[in-house]
Chains A and B, each alone.
Chain A
Amino acid sequence: MDIPYTVKNRPDTGLYNGKLGVWLFLASEVMLFGGLFSAYIFLRTGVDDWPAGTEYLDVPLATLNTLFLISSSVTMVMSWASLKLNDFKKYKLYTLITLLFAFGFLVIKYFEYSAKFAHNPPYLPSTNNFLGIYFTMTGLHVLHIIGGILVIGYFYGPGSKMWNSDPERFTNRIEIVGLYWHFVDLVWIFLFPVLYLL
């Protein structure tokens, strides 16, 4: 006996299990980052002088990174749409591009971080609370990116075999991964102005 609604929607909710599951997971993620945003606002309001992000951070690089993430988001949703259109080749292509953008994001982040550490005097999390919260929030976000890359990479490589055995289920999986990936993008959309521009 198999667990029902792993692939097909349950009629009364109109959802399959995985999708509901990932939305609930994202709800908890909202609260996780919510805790950090709350801390950010609390700390910032509580002190008299809070440095402007531009004092420490590199806006052009971050803008580029924002564009990278947005692009990876659109290619992600395209790869899902390609599966819907039964075009596995396009799926592969779009997923590859998604991965490349994600890697690009990491590379730029790497340069940003190392520039901070290399600065004289070094900009460290302990330097002040602005940098502290910057490193914490972006660090956690980067962990989410890495997690996403691993999963997307799996479905690009070994995981994509499922397309032959159970295409519908595979498409669902890509949809789920996509939801997660868009959420990571969404978090960045808020992190970017909050940390860099305000």
Chain B
Amino acid sequence: MSELTPEEVKHHIKTYVLVFIALAFLTIVTVGISYLDLGHVGGIILALIVASIKGTLVACYFMHLLDEKVTIYWTLIATVVAFLILIFVPLSAMLDHARI
């Protein structure tokens, strides 16, 4: 991001403010949802969806992931794959475990 013109930077700043408002709003939304009674699974899924949206906003705009370079995309893809394996494979192994 080292070759930005001042105009571009100013434009960025507007986005930052918008993103900030969105994040604050979504925070209130998650808290709000948690007070509704959506059932266990529904609540978890919704909360995680909102968190993911927030996370994506932070990553894409604050961390400028949207206009990053391929090297970084590749790194992150590898990381995400490893992360998903780490989360889901032990879980499914536990659920499949033989026991009485």
Contact = CB atoms under 8 A, between A and B. Distances in A.
A98 to B, nearest CB: 12
A90 B27 CA distance: 28
Interface size class of B (residues with CB under 8 A): 35 or more
Contact of A73 (B62, B80, B83, B95): B62
B44 A198 contact: yes
Interface in B56-100: 58-59, 62-63, 69, 71-72, 75-76, 78-80, 82-83, 86-87, 90-91, 94-95
A107 interface: no
Main secondary structure of the interface of B (DSSP, over half): helix
Main secondary structure on chain A at its contact with chain B?
helix
Interface string A96-116: 000000000000000000000
A196 B47 CA distance: 11
Contacts of A168: 2
B11 to A, nearest CB: 10
Given A77-B62, A183-B63, A84 B9 contact: yes
Residue of B50, B54, B78 ringed by the most chain A CB atoms within 10 A = B54
Interface of B: 1-2, 4, 6, 9-10, 12-13, 16-17, 19-20, 23-24, 27-28, 30-31, 33-34, 43-44, 47-48, 50-51, 54-55, 58-59, 62-63, 69, 71-72, 75-76, 78-80, 82-83, 86-87, 90-91, 94-95
